[in-house]
Amino acid sequence: MIKIQQALWGYSDGHHLLETSTPLSNQAKKILGSLTDLSGNESPRSFDGYLTGYPLKEEKCYALSKTWYATEMSRPGCVWTHTLFIDYDIASNVTAAKIDTLFRRPTPNISDLGEYSRPILLEKCNNGVPAINSSINRIALDLFSIIVQNPSVPIIIASGSSTPFNQALESLIETLGISFFNDISFCTGSFSNRTINRKPLDLQIAPNTVSKSVRRCNRDEIVYIEYPSNFENVISIENFEKTKEFILYCGDKFYKRIHWLMFSTILSKISSQSPFSIAEIISILKDKTNTEDTIRIFTKIIQAIYLPTQYSIEKDLDSKIAILIDLFSSNYEFVEATSIVDKSTVSGIIDLLYNKSHQDAISLITKLSGCTINQIGKSAVNHLSEILTTKDFSSLLKRSKNAALWLIPFNFNLVLCEDIWKQDKNIQLEILKQLKDSFSNVNYTGINYKSIIYLIFETSDFDIVSDLYKTFGDCSVDAFFDWCETEHTCIQKSIRWVNLCKYNQILSIERLKHINNPSLFEMVIKVLDPYDEKMKEISKETWELFYRRFCVNNSSRNINTVFAQFILPIIIESSSQFSTQLTEFAFITVHNILARDEMDYRQWSRLSKLLPDNSWHNVWDKCKRLRKEAKIKNLDIDFKYID
């Protein structure tokens, strides 16, 4: 049960408030005292029972009045006016009631007015809002067209009767709801210019005989129309209902005549099956609303196209993709500071597109890769890059290598796709460059860099060691040692990547201290440079450790040969006293290598610079120079040749 407060106005030594079911403020009494009285000297019979409507801001309700001529009164010009005070918070329940049945003209027995001192009680109606009565469609829609097309100037309509406009306005109130009229004032029987606080009512229906004088008295710019001669319908029933639904979906605050034309224009553009221009829609919104409301409405539009909402805008897939590309790549004036669509909406759209068809999502990436994307686009692509699987990325790679390379910076974990390290060398180098440009050697937050390096070790067939180190720095050296100690590492693949150890020999030596794999030790020592000045920073205990772990009691001639040639120049140049065992091992092993003429020329060229010179230059001369060095260092070594 809902209540509608009411009041009755009439003659009692002047025009006064006779009864009311609710207290009224002085301001309301002042306004209604004038509006409920006869609106001029004329009283055409065809205007008996005219309507007046006005929002009462303080009372938070709409005052809807009906005025009848009180011909039974002895004094000419008397009227009865019955006013309904309809609260906006119950307006949805009132719209379904036939408004005209709520008005009651007093009987000639003016002493019986008690019924106006009690509120009108109505059952709540849950049957929804009725459609406009078909018999008055044309007038109601014509009138509505005029109201929404002229939301900021007074409208005066010259007519021979108020009846069609009473019916039209009642129909519009029932269909639109009283809340739509909270900024509209009207009178369907203006016999002179009607004003509130010297401001003309928004809509006045004036008899033909006085319409020109009403028009002249109106000082503001006005819209003047003669009914029915130039009364044209520009809104269809279908457009009316769709626009109303669209506005209410976007928000109750926009349900006003000032916004109706804007929403109708936007709706016609976005309802077409063809893609619409994002910039054009935003331009229309920005011209009529503030930034906050523009964002709110535009977000609602996008949600209606892509997400399951109570309001749906149907588009085919090609149009949806085209609109997204426009949304993600167009340049809007305020998009840098404030996103026109929030991230959760963008993520929701991407999720739905991806879940419905991975290939459609991949197609979107391919098309976006050729665009300059904005902040919204970056957010969308970033989210899409995070939900793509390696299988999806392989599919993108097959469709467009350029698009795949473009996507990688949004989520570097995409390079965990094995297929990308099976591409040609230039593509692999480009990926490493992207990784290098975006990360420092110590900043891999959220990136599984070790898995990326492992995958490169396992998959790539190209010599990209230098670029790999430039990208990952010392992390690549650490990763190499960790990878080599895994169960499935192939020794042949390890050889391809061991040169990483050259780029940080100190780190490589440190890592060798913690391994027990002779093959790995031999592989690394082979590529390290014993003549590097940094080798002097390594303690002799480290070299002694390597000797004991890998050379003592070791039958592997290769390891002994490699380590002896590596450690000998270090011993020669060092001021430290190495153990007799290590020293003899280094000198004797290298002596035998020289005796068999098995030392690589480049190695000998570097070693010879550390040995005393000799006039002869043959194999045994090399051995003699090594023995001379031993004497200089006061080493008592038996250089008996051992084959």
- The model's pLDDT over 344-402, given as tens digits with 9 standing for 90+, comes to 999 999 999 999 999 999 999 999 999 999 989 999 999 999 999 999 999 999 999 99
3-state secondary structure of 221: coil
∠ Cα 590 592 594 (to 5°): 70
Q: Which residues of the chain have pLDDT under 70?
A: 90-97, 109-111, 125-136, 233, 333-338, 439-446, 487-489, 555, 615-620, 641-643
- List C-alpha distances in Å: 37 to 53, 69, 85, 212: 13, 10, 17, 21
Given the structure tokens 């004497």, which residue do they identify? 631
Enter the DSSP assignment of 45: G
| CA-wise closest residue to 457 among 427, 501, 495 | 495
Alpha carbon distance 611, 354 (integer Å): 70
pTM comes to: 0.78
User: How many CB atoms neighbour CB 576 within 10 A?
Assistant: 11
CA distance linking residue 34 with residue 16, whole number of Å:
10
According to the model, what pLDDT value does residue 490 have?
75
If residue 206 lies in a helix (H) or strand (E), which one and from where to where?
strand 203-207
| pLDDT computed for residue 235 by the predictor | 82
Contacts 24+ apart (CB under 8 A), 24-30: 24/59, 25/58, 25/59, 27/58, 28/56, 28/58, 28/59, 28/63
What whole-number distance in Å separates Cα of residue 643 and Cα of residue 624? 17
**Alpha carbon distances (Å) from 99 to 60, 102, 127, 171, 390:** 19, 5, 16, 8, 65
Measured distance CA(102)–CA(353) in Å, rounded: 52
